[in-house]
Every structure is written in structure tokens, then in C-alpha cells.
Structure 1
Amino acid sequence: MRLLVIEDEAPMRTALVETLKTEGYRVLAAADGVSGLELACTESFDLVLLDVMMPGLDGFALCRELRKRERTMPVLMLTAKGQVDDRVEGLDSGADDYLVKPFSLRELLARVRALLRRKERADSLGKELLIGKSAVDFDRRILVRGEARHELSEKETGMLRLLATHSGEAVSREKFLDVVWGYHAYPSTRTVDNFIAALRAKLEDDPAHPRHLITVRGSGYRLDL
């Protein structure tokens, strides 16, 4: 696996690179947002570890630019800014997970492994998925059902990917928050229900009596292809 570390503080950058290399990852590093963005857009990486507080181009702006340029590799944000609003901004900018400094290296490595596993599962699905009468294009974030064509949000796409990798099994609301939103504190599990309702409206012939996005009482939701 090939990783990119974008961190302007030299001691932290060195520690991250050495730790990740010790675990067997191939690692490149950038000391600022501008050079990091160039690397991320010109070379192939399986994961980006991105500091938020950098001069010039900060992590939020860098992540938004990556997603604007359709760079889809997972992004793990590393920052001392731990307020809920900061976490929300980071995830809304396109980050997949958010780790607040100071953090343990064990937790960092666990987050890295989780994001890489998620990427491998997503890659194994391919670019398209057939669900009943619907066709989902993950890259373009489009769902087509009959004559209807629906755009999918990033979160809706992530939820469908997660459901597809566990096809036929119940996925808990907490699992959706952990994998798709990247952390537990925000938003609430009710948000998951709202997103499921929106997906049913696009996917199901009769959203009130779904055949594909099934509620599993006490467990969560299941995708039946």
C-alpha cells in the first residue's frame, strides 16, 4: 500500500513516516499543502494522512480540492482542532476520518488499517452495481431506475457501498456512522434513518414497502439485490 503524509511540522512528519514504514507501507511525504496537493494529484496513493493547520493551503481546502479533482483515495485528517464544528467541516470537505492530536500511534495505525480495508472492499465492488431494476454508478454517483435518473450524494454513495459489501447482512446505524461519516459523536443515528429514506425514494418502486433496502428490527438495514 502506498501512503502520502502531508504535514508541515517536521518532527511529526518524520514520526509518521517512520511509523508507517515500519508497518510495511510505502510512504511519501510533503511539508506543505501546495506540494502535497501536487503529489496527490499526479501520483497514485491508497491513503492520504493530512494535517489541517498548515500555512497557505490548509487541510480543509486541500481536501476539497482533491474531491473537486475527483481524487477518491481515503483521507485521514490529523489535527489539534477537536471541536464538533471542526470535525464536521473536515468531513464535509471530503475527509473519511478525523483523528485529534495528541493521539496514540496504535490508534493511528488502527484507523489507517480500517480505511485501507474499506478501500479494498469498495474497489472489489467495481464501478457499477445492479439492485433490482436500478443501476448504480459509484464513480459518477448516479442511480438509474427505469426512466428516472438520480444523483447520489457522497454519503448516499458511501452507504450503498457499505451495504453492498455486506449484501444480505444487517448493517447497524453505528456502523454507518463509523464507516461513512467516520466518527461516532456526530451526527445522530436518526441521520442514518433519514438518508435511508432518501435512498429508498430513489431506489424502490414503492418506498413504503421496500424490497431492497430492508429494515432489520433491532439491527439496522440490509440490502437485498
Structure 2
Amino acid sequence: MGIAVLLVEDDYDLAAAVVGSLELEGFICDHAANGPHGYELASTNTYDVLLLDVMLPGLSGIGVCEKLRKDGVTTPILMLTARDTLDDKISGFNAGTDDYLTKPFNMEELLLRIRALSKRFSRQSRKLSVVDLEMNLDTHEAIRSGNPIQLTPTEWKLLEVLAVHSPKVVSRVQLEQTVWGDSIPSQSLLKVYLNKLRKKVDIPALPPIIQTLPGVGVVLKLVDDHEE
């Protein structure tokens, strides 16, 4: 299967040229013309590389990048921009972008950078480890102390976000937005799923690692007895 790319670019002529060139090389390419649509596609689909224009309607490329990284999306991001000042690049790298390409660019250079990002990412271990919990992001398999954990898609999303941010605390709002998007449920529904997750992850024979901090959020780490 070819490399899957999402292009978020509001210049339709440039987008058509990029998509056409990528597809000729065997790439699979989706296109969004504004920030919110790009964020939606990147959040709900799996891509090998994301191409984000900096200046986008609705939400800037840097804004899209920041939201995706906060959601735990680790897909490589190549920022496309006509602004090449050091401050602009620093802002992008601080937001979580992996590479920059200044407009106007040579299509061959774009292809080389996409392939390089894709290879670098594919060589990385797509696994998360927190204490004795291991998560395979490709197969959605979770194991704790050698014991497989069967998770529903919603439970997996919750655990993945907590693992990506561990040992930092994740707010309830962030958990809700990551799992349910704009259709944020009642607080009680999140509580129900967290309780289900605890029953599967924090089994009696092992020390608990899912900790709720009232008024703050939830954190995935080894719970100190003094913190209980």
C-alpha cells in the first residue's frame, strides 16, 4: 500500500498540483481546504504524513498541529509556509511539527521529505510503555505484566491519551474532546468509562496506575500510597 498523506491547503491550484504529483507516485492523498476540516480528518483517519499549510481559514496549521499533539496524535507533520523567519519556525517546532518546507517549493523535494518522514516514523517503535503497561499503537493490543487486556474502542482511546501524556495529568475536558469530539457527553459518562477501564487495568494483584485527581483530571502512573 502507498504512503497515506493528508494535505491541508486552502490554495486549490497548489493543492491540485500536489495531490496530482503524489498520486502519480503511488501515494494515497486526502485534501482539506481549511483548518477545522483538516483537524477532523487527521483525528479520525490514519495517515503516514500530514502536510499543513501555516495560513489556513478557521484554524492555522500551527493550531491544527497543537490540537493534534494534545490529542496524542504522533503522525509526522511537515509544515508548508511562505513565512520562513526563525520565529515562525520556532513556533511550529514548539507546536510539534517535525519539518518545514518553504513555498514555493520543488515537488521533488516535497516527495523526498515525505518519504524521509514516513521512513523515520515507520522505523520507530509504535509502542507506549507506562510502568508495567505496554500498548501497541498499530495492533491496539494492551498488556499489563504479561496479561492481555481486552479493551473496547472507547476504552482504548482513553487509555492511549493517558499513556501518551503520562506522567502528566490529563483534564476531563481533554479526555472528553479526544474521545467524543464536540459531542461532549455528561461527566457521568466519562466516569462510567473510567471505572470500566480501571476494572480491566487496575486488577487486584497489581498496584493501581489510573489515578483521578478531583478537580484536576486523570493521570496514568504508579500510585504512591501517600497520594491515596
Tell me the TM-score range normalised by the shorter chain.
0.5 to 0.7
Counterpart of 1:53? Answer: 55
- Measured after TM superposition, the shift of residue 50 of structure 1 is 0.5
CA RMSD of aligned residues (A): 2.5
Counterpart secondary structure, 2:7: strand
Per-residue CA deviations over 1:113-150 (Å, capped at 9, x if unaligned) read: 110011111136x3349xxxxx99996366xxxxxxx7
Displacement of 1:44 after TM fit?
1.1
Corresponding position: 1:88 with 2:112: no
Taking a change above 3 Å as real, the CA distance of residues 141 and 53 of structure 1, as seen in their structure-2 partners, is same
For 1:58-207, list aligned pairs within 5 A. Answer: 58-123=60-125, 126-128=127-129, 140=164
Q: Distance in 1 between matches of 2:164 and 2:37?
A: 28
Conserved 8 A contact 2:72-2:164: no
Identity %: 41
Number of residue equivalences: 140
CA–CA distance in structure 2, aligned partners of residues 106 and 39 of structure 1 = 25
How many angstroms apart in 2 are the aligned matches of 1:140 and 1:38? 20
- SS of the residue aligned with 1:123? coil
| 3-state secondary structure, aligned to 1:18 | helix
Name the SS of the counterpart of 2:30 in structure 1: strand
- Relative distance call for 1:14 and 1:123 in structure 2 (3 A) is farther
Q: What is the DSSP-based 3-state SS (H/G/I as helix, E as strand, rest coil) of the residue aligned with 1:127?
A: strand
CA contact (8 A) 2:36 2:59 kept: yes
Give the C-alpha shift of residue 2 in structure 1.
Answer: 1.2
Q: 2:5 aligns with which of 3, 6, 12?
A: 3
Q: Deviations over 1:36-64 (max 9, x none)?
A: 11111111111100000112211111110
Unaligned 5+ residue runs, structure 2?
A: 138-162, 169-228
What is the deviation of 1:103? 1.0
Residue 78 of structure 2 contacts residue 99 of structure 2 at CA under 8 Å; is this kept in 1? yes
Rg: which structure is higher? 2
CA distance in structure 2 between the aligned counterparts of 1:29 and 1:11, rounded to whole angstroms: 12
